[in-house]
Structure 1
Amino acid sequence: MLVTFSVSQTTGVDDLKDSDLGAPVMLTDSNEVGPITSGGQLLGKLISLTLSDNDDGQRLATVQVGGICRLAIGTTYPTVGNRVVGGGSGTVKQAPTVASDPAGGNIARGTVLEVNGTTDCVILLN
């Protein structure tokens, strides 16, 4: 499933650029996405951006929020069957076991179906 969002900004500059295509993203505000942070809740995979990197404030992001996708992984590497959270720097990592989950519940997302060494994993976004 693909959904379109506004792009978050820092000091008037879009936080997502063409170089981020294929990277995991998270919700940053209502109907707005940005790069995933370490420990952040995965929304999905950035599929496309409208316009060009020079069009700050006007771009829209298309994000895959359901189905199966491949995402880069960082330490702590997930294993098959794990759920994931943001690893920072365009990656996801194994979701931690947290005794004090935030209000609203555990933020881990997806089910890891395959792990390709320390490079990437295939995730069912469920």
Structure 2
Amino acid sequence: MRIILMFVALLLSIGSAHAGKVVASGRPLQLYWAVATNPDCTSAGTVVLRVAQAPAHGRVSIQHAGVFPSFSSINPRSACNRRRVPGVKATYVSQRGYLGSDLVVLQALFPNGRGVNVTIPIRVM
């Protein structure tokens, strides 16, 4: 049961990044975040986040940081939504003056052995 709950929590913990993002040129944009959290809001392990395909017109930085998760209200971890929990996030910044489209592909590897690739189209205005 614990493994099933952890898997569901990991699925729900993935930041909403599948739809396109819009950002002003040269400004930072949080692309994606992920957590692996126990029901008591402690870390269930480290999520490894990698850039699988770098943007052509900007850069991505990845940092381990406290993030606010967004577990659904029926998830036992939903109480964690009100506090920062250990996680990892990716931030994009375009080249100065660039206007147009860009694309980033991230790979998230979770402590339970699950991995996901996330493709994020970006429109820089």
Q: TM-score, normalised by structure 1?
A: 0.24
Q: TM-score, normalised by structure 2?
A: 0.25
| Bigger radius of gyration | 2
- Ranked by relative contact order (alpha carbons within 8 Å, sequence separation 6 or more), the top structure is 2
- The answer to which structure has the higher helix fraction is 2
